[in-house]
Amino acid sequence: MLRGGVIMDVVNPEQAKIAEDSGAVAVMALERVPSDIRRDGGVARMSDPQMIKEIQASVTIPVMAKARIGHFAEAQILQALDVDYIDESEVLTPADEENHIDKWGFTVPFVCGATNLGEALRRIGEGACLIRSKGEAGTGNVVEAVRHLRTINAQMRRLQSADAAELFALAKDLQAPLPLVQEVAATGKLPVPLFCAGGISTPADAALVLQLGAEAVFVGSGIFKSEDPVRMAKAIVEATTHFEDAAVVARVSTGLGEAMRGAETTSLEVRLAERGW
């Protein structure tokens, strides 16, 4: 059951073992972490099945892998490899600038990113069964993750305060399927779990986004680009469990060494969060 916890980006079986030993609930198998993708440029694609298989063989926890937005053939390959979840991810170079993958055609569950409620509901309408707020991957800067989470939450509150007649126009504004808009208005939450990704690089970042309503966190570059990945991984796992207990978060934050260097998002050449439609 994927409820709560930390999903860690790993690029080889050794990192996958470290993630599992540190209490990760799942690993994301990819060839380069987002900060390296950002640095290297070029086209970022699905990982080599060989490395995905090696990571699957090295851990007992679920293994996720990324497909490019709209690249359903990559997703078919990942499903054939028996990955546990597919992330249709803006971190990779999009393959289709209009359409996302029709996820109803697959049996493997999909996770998709969103910057706002309309985007989240469009992905759910296409069959996503987990949503992660996008943040800005590879920056080590939590500001965009906070923006996206707060936006999604604020838009859900707005739906809850609307009367039934207003929901039609709100669905139009959100560009989201009306039945899903009506469901959110009635329940006050997404019909699927809401996780958080993009820029989380310290235990305090994890505690922040969990208190803002995320149920779990994806940590990409934040662990294996830090000074002491093992300690950082364990600290973020503990902070995610005890996110409301500042004494625990303070203890695990103490003497961690340097977090990943990070980037100011206003100076970025490429904003990954803008990929997806």
Give the interface with another protein as residue ranges (CB under 8 A). 1-5, 20-26, 60-62, 79, 82, 84-85, 107-109, 234, 237-238, 241-242, 245
Is 103 tagged catalytic? no
Taking every pair of Cα atoms in the chain, the longest distance, rounded to a whole number of angstroms, is 55
Can you tell me whether residue 127 is helix, strand or coil?
coil
- How far apart are the C-alpha atoms of 14 and 100, rounded to whole Å? 33
Q: Nearest approach, Cβ of 5 to another protein (angstroms)?
A: 5
Residue number, 82 or 166, with CB nearest to another protein: 82
Closer to another protein by Cβ: residue 82 or 96: 82
C-beta of 78 vs 176, nearer to another protein: 78
Q: Considering 66, 103, 225, 234, which one is annotated as catalytic?
A: 66
Q: How far is the CB of 215 from another protein (least distance, A)?
A: 9
- Cβ(276)–Cβ(119) under 8 Å? yes
Short-list 68, 165, 174, CA closest to 121: 174
- Least distance (Å) from another protein to the CB of residue 83? 8
- What DSSP string describes 74-140? HHHHHHHTT-SEEEEETTSPPS-SS----GGG-SS-EEEEESSHHHHHHHHHTT-SEEEE---TTS-
Smallest gap from residue 51 Cβ to another protein (A): 18
Closer residue to another protein in complex, CB, 143/248: 248
DSSP SS3 for 133: strand
Catalytic residues: 66
